[in-house]
Structure 1
Amino acid sequence: MILSFNTDYHYEIGPTYDGKVPEEYRLQKNHTGIAYLSWYIRKGSVELTTADSTRHLHKGDWAFMDPFTTRSHHFSRDAELISIRFRLNWRGLHFIPPRLGLRTDHPKEDTALLKSAEALCAFEAIHRTKTHPSSPATLCRRSQYFSEWLYQWHKNREAMGVQATAPIDPRVSEIMAIIGQRPSIQPIDYAQLQTTIGLSKAQINRIFKSATGLTPRKWCEAQLLRAAEDWLLANQLSVKEIAARLDFFDASHFIKWFRAHTNVTPTVWRTRKTPL
Structure 2
Amino acid sequence: MNAIPVKSKIASDQVLKISPFKEVIKPTVPHKHADYFELIVLSQGAGFHTIDDYTFDVTPPDIYFLKPGQTHCWDFSRIPKGFVILFREELLNSEGLEVVYQLPAHISLADGGILFELVKRFYQDYQSNTSLTILKTYLQLILLKILEQSGAFIQRDVTFNAVYYQFKSLVNENYQRIKKIQDYADLLKMPASRLNLICRNASGKTPSMLLNERILLESKTLLSNTPLSIKEIAATLDFSDTSHFVKFFKINTNLTPGLYRELAFASAKKSV
Larger helix fraction of residues: 2
Question: If the length of structure 2 is used for normalisation, what is the TM-score?
Answer: 0.49
TM-score (norm 1): 0.48
Greater relative contact order (Cα < 8 A, sep 6+) = 1
